[in-house]
Structure 1
């Protein structure tokens, strides 16, 4: 069970050997609820909440991970228990996996999923745009071939084929964004992907959306016990969230879909972004428009994922735990993994 302590003024302390959640409600009544330490796996605290040292001690004695987050979900830090438990073991296995063929297998899985998501998005666009069928069919065929090429890459470690994989991914990305631009209204079309700085409003929306998604991915990995800095494909440079950059790839489509819908639905106008000498960035109105649409897409709408209904945010957390279990050598059926989350 994960306890998400996210309501301002909530206090977690110990009573009768159990975690007790205490909070004064708006009507002046006192809310309290106990939780057995043996049933809790994570305590996730946002800013504006409180945790007693006795609660920290009880958590450490029971291998309960404590994660601190900003109100927007960005990770601040984590309290690690001193026992040689799951988190330490996961990190060790993560390092070992990064240097063997299993690491390459994961990289290929993530990249293939990313390309398949791009491919399926183009196929969906084709259903409603018969006038663009020839153009879209050409892109579909080329991306299908790239997926096969990624799948066929073999090596003892990711580093042996990293440049080839990046090249294939980059080619697919170029074809994919060419397609998105081609089918957009003429006033929203753009010339390829541009990150820092964005050369146009569409890329400015993508960049900001990916930034929000990075935070969600980092949070999910930390909660699952994965080191966000120890990547398989991306380099482990100083303070670079290499695993976040690896793990995010299949989920970029979430941002792409939200941004594309905003532009294709003509909900974006010039008032949502600012043009500078160095490029284009979102202003407060643009950020508000994107965040509201993205939060609904991620946390309110549900999808069918691994045989169950999940919000997209929960699906990412679910996959993070599956990844952690897999690199630990846990052969249990991923379909049976569950995340019991209690919001307090």
Structure 2
């Protein structure tokens, strides 16, 4: 079980029996056995023999392609589609069932809001200034009221999206205050990220999203058919659904890296209107991400199993 990160341009990547061999300027740099791999992440410009891709697909290993310095998602290679077609048929049926959709969607957003509150509550104990406590107290009240509104009277996806948007605005007004002003993090900006915190959030969100895509495919579900996120051409809407409650978990991970001084603005470079993690800093990031993701992957897999059960049994709630 493992992840291989290939984040150096110019490699020629070839198959050597049951291993992947790496060549740079014609010189062999090393090998990695295929069997333990669950996922391979390739960033930047490298040459990969089709025999390598065939072997990875045969072994059920996903290959995710990212751009160079920006590490933006470009595509994913997967193996054969899961044989359980009935599960996907049931999933398509449930995606048209309004009662099922709103039940699942409300659970997703209520869990996300609860995790936002938990994280902010723990963070303020560490930061602890009186001004921050007053700000956070107000945000806690907003999040509680929104959660109560969702529980009591939200019966439509459109209304739920309004509640979720209001919760995110309140949450980020507090989250940004956790970081020093020198980092320039004032709000969430995705493409391109304009400061080190947004750069780290975008990278971490991208990686965790494709953790969910992989687990969805392993389970036999269709990652493009979601419940809270409606179908949109080219988007893995079910993966978007599943990672919503994990976004505050990612936020905590990113905050802790900056809080502990593992990253500063010196670890980032500004290029083409965006801010990106430098190559040396990425080498340090990947092992930290893998250690953190160990538990998150298990939680994602568990949630996908729960969804599969609910899709198949014809009920809107989990079995007792």
What's the TM-score, normalizing by structure 1?
0.69
Aligned-residue CA RMSD in angstroms?
A: 3.5
Question: SS in structure 2 opposite 1:152?
Answer: helix
SS in 1 for 2:78: strand
Task: Note the 1:328-343 alignment, pairs <5 A.
Answer: 328-329=312-313
Q: Distance in 1 between matches of 2:101 and 2:128?
A: 41
Q: How many residue pairs are counted as aligned between the two chains?
A: 271
Q: Check conservation: 2:81, 2:220, Cα contact below 8 A.
A: no
Q: Indicate if the aligned counterparts of 1:181 and 1:188 stay in contact, CA closer than 8 A.
A: no
Q: Is 2:179–2:185's contact at 8 Å kept on the other side of the alignment? A: no
8 A contact 1:46–1:71 mirrored in 2: yes
- Give the alignment of 1:24-103 within 5 angstroms: 67-70=60-63, 76-80=77-81, 87-100=84-97, 101-103=99-101
Query: What is aligned with 1:220?
Result: 215
What is the deviation of 1:258?
1.2
Deviation at 1:264, TM superposition (A): 1.7
Given candidates 109, 112, 116, the residue that maps to 1:111 is 109
Contact residue 195 and residue 274 of structure 2 kept, 8 A: yes
Residue in structure 2 matched with residue 127 of structure 1 by the alignment: 125
Distance 1:290 1:330, change over 3 A: farther
Name which one, 1 or 2, has greater alpha-carbon Rg: 1
What is the aligned counterpart of 2:300 among 297, 316, 336? 316
| Cα distance in 2 between the residues matched to 1:253 and 1:272 | 23
Q: Output aligned runs, 1:1-344, within 5 Å.
A: 9-10=17-18, 67-70=60-63, 76-80=77-81, 87-100=84-97, 101-131=99-129, 132-155=132-155, 161-299=156-294, 311-329=295-313
Secondary structure of the 2:313 match is coil
Report Cα offsets for 1:106-141 as digits up to 9, x if no partner.
111111111111110011122234423222111111
Alpha-carbon separation, structure 2, partners of 1:5 and 1:200: 30
Q: Distance in 2 between matches of 1:5 and 1:130?
A: 38
- Can you give the 5+ residue segments of structure 1 that lack an aligned partner in the other structure? 12-42, 57-65, 156-160, 300-310, 337-344
Contact 1:91-1:225 within 8 A present in 2 as well: yes
Shift in Å, 1:189: 4.9
Give the stretch that moved more between structures: 258-267 or 220-229: 258-267
How far apart are residue 9 of structure 1 and its match?
A: 4.8
1:186 offset after TM fit, Å?
2.9
1:199-253: CA deviation from partner (whole Å, max 9, x where unpaired): 2111111001101111101011111111101112323222211111111101112
Question: Which structure 2 segments of 5+ residues have no match?
Answer: 5-15, 20-35, 41-51, 66-74
Q: CA deviation at 1:285?
A: 3.0
Could you tell me how far 1:104 is from its partner in structure 2?
Answer: 1.2
- Runs of 4 or more above 4 Å deviation: 4-11, 43-51, 333-336
The structural deviation recorded for 1:329 is 0.8
Deviation at 1:145, TM superposition (A): 1.0
Measure the CA separation in 2 of the matches of 1:208 and 1:44. Answer: 21
